[in-house]
Amino acid sequence: MSHEYVPEIAVDREGQEHEVQGWQDDMYGAKLGFWLFMFTEVLMFGAMFMALTYYFTLHHDDFLIASSSLNRVLGGTNTVVLLFSALTMGLGLLKMRHGDVKGAKLMIWATILLALVFLGIKAVEWTAEYNHGVFLGLDALQAGNEHSKPFGQILFFGMYFTMTGIHGFHIIIGIGIMLWLLKRINAGKVTPEHHILHFNIALYWDLVHLIWVFVFPYYYMIGAGLTGGAH
Partner 1 sequence: MANTTKTYKEEYAGYWKVLAGLLILTGLTFVQPTMFMENATFMVQMLIGTVKAWLILMYYMHLKGEKLIITFTYFSLFIVLVFFVIVIGFDVANFQYSDLSHITSGDTAAAVSETHGAAHAEPAHH
Binding site for partner 1 (CB under 8 A): 27, 31-32, 35, 39, 42-43, 46, 50, 53-62, 64-65, 68-72, 76, 79-80, 83-84, 86-87, 90-91, 94, 98, 128-129, 131-132, 134, 143, 149-155, 203, 206-207, 209-210, 213-214, 216-218, 221-230
As measured in angstroms, the least distance from the Cβ of 226 to partner 1 is: 4
As measured in angstroms, the least distance from the Cβ of 34 to partner 1 is: 10
Measured distance CA(207)–CA(127) in Å, rounded: 26
Burial-class residue 186 by CB neighbours within 10 Å (0-12, 13-18, 19+): exposed
As measured in angstroms, the least distance from the Cβ of 224 to partner 1 is: 4
Closer residue to partner 1 in complex, CB, 35/183: 35
As measured in angstroms, the least distance from the Cβ of 70 to partner 1 is: 7
Closer residue to partner 1 in complex, CB, 119/196: 196
As measured in angstroms, the least distance from the Cβ of 187 to partner 1 is: 24
Count of beta carbons in the 10 Å neighbourhood of residue 154: 18
Give the SS3 label for residue 204: helix
Closer residue to partner 1 in complex, CB, 112/207: 207
Closer residue to partner 1 in complex, CB, 152/174: 152
| Helix pair angle (196-216, 72-97), 10° resolution | 160
Closer residue to partner 1 in complex, CB, 53/186: 53
Count of beta carbons in the 10 Å neighbourhood of residue 78: 23
As measured in angstroms, the least distance from the Cβ of 58 to partner 1 is: 5
Measured distance CA(12)–CA(17) in Å, rounded: 7
Give the SS3 label for residue 14: coil
Closer residue to partner 1 in complex, CB, 39/180: 39
Burial-class residue 14 by CB neighbours within 10 Å (0-12, 13-18, 19+): exposed
Give the SS3 label for residue 4: coil
